[in-house]
Amino acid sequence: MPLVQITMLAGRTADQKRKLARRITDAMVEDAGAKREAVVVAFHEVSKESYASGGVLMADK
């Protein structure tokens, strides 16, 4: 069972996540030979205060 975990800043709509899940699943099926029903996509949303890039909190950018 392929598990694809996406960590991103909070704020995407359910529709955006649906589209992402569909496209990621399609890629796993087409390029990795996975069975569609076996692909799991998990979205982990974090706040700007809990995510840093380059040593700087996203809330401070």
User: Which amino acid appears at position 51 of this protein?
Assistant: Y
pLDDT, averaged in runs of 10, over the chain (61 residues) = 96 98 98 98 98 96 94
pLDDT for 1 equals 87
Fold of 3-60: Macrophage Migration Inhibitory Factor (3.30.429)
Residue 25 contacts residue 19 (beta carbons within 8 Å): no
Instruction: Please confirm, yes or no, whether 2 is among the known catalytic residues.
Output: yes
Annotated catalytic residue within 2, 4, 21, 51: 2
Token duo for residue 21: 């899940």
- Please state the pTM of the whole predicted model: 0.86
pLDDT for 9 equals 97
Per-domain boundaries in the chain:
3-60
User: Which amino acid appears at position 6 of this protein?
Assistant: I
Task: Tally Cβ neighbours within 10 Å of residue 27.
Answer: 13
